[in-house]
Each structure stands twice: as C-alpha cells, then as structure tokens.
Amino acid sequence: QQPVQSPQAVILREGEDAVINCSSSKALYSVHWYRQKHGEAPVFLMILLKGGEQKGHEKISASFNEKKQQSSLYLTASQLSYSGTYFCGTVGNEKLTFGTGTRLTIIP
C-alpha cells in the first residue's frame, strides 16, 4: 500500500519554507525521500532509519516519527533549484513503495 503524501502541490516564492508530509498505515523501518525534475529520473535526497539515524542532504532536513508512522521533509529558504516533484518511499518486505508525490514550484 502506497504511503500518503500531503500536500499534493505547493507553490512558494524563493526564500520561503515548505514542509512535505508522508504517512503510512504500516509500521516503518525506514523512509526515503527523492526529488524528480520534469523529464528526469528521481534523485536520492535522504534516508531516515528507525532509531533516528539520518543520512542525506545539507540544506534539506527531515523527521521520522516511528510511532505515528510519519515523516516530514523540511525545505528551508527555498531556491529555484528545489522545484520538482518530491516522493517519499517506505520499506517493507524487501520492497520500496513510493507515495504519489508532491509537486513543488518555486517562483522568483
């Protein structure tokens, strides 16, 4: 079952902050975050592991609440290059399942 992402789309002005949420109905071992530019392949941003270990990007942070089975991605002081569609992915039974995505548009 796919994790649920919110919001589905968001438009920001350059320099503003954004939060993208991801929730699952299943217990989570880890959460992945990827960004996809139009016409390109998804690119890795971050992995959050059960127990709090976090790997990833300098200017983008995330949280992982294991009990609530939720993760949030925080983009601060957004730049034009942050535009794209963000996907969270959850791992279970050897499978990585992605959400339906959040389209982020940054305008000057």
Is 58 a binding residue for other proteins by CB under 8 A? The answer is: no
Are 45 and 60 a contacting pair, CB within 8 Å? yes
Binder of other proteins out of 44, 76, 105, 107 (CB under 8 A): 44
Is 84 a binding residue for other proteins by CB under 8 A? The answer is: no
Are 2 and 97 a contacting pair, CB within 8 Å? yes
Residue 82 vs 87, nearer CB to other proteins = 87
Q: Which stretch binds other proteins (CB under 8 A): 9-17, 18-26, 57-65, 87-95?
A: 87-95
Is 42 a binding residue for other proteins by CB under 8 A? The answer is: yes
- Give burial (CB, 10 Å; 0-12/13-18/19+) of 28: buried
Residue 1 CB, nearest distance to other proteins (Å)?
9
Residue 42 CB, nearest distance to other proteins (Å)?
5
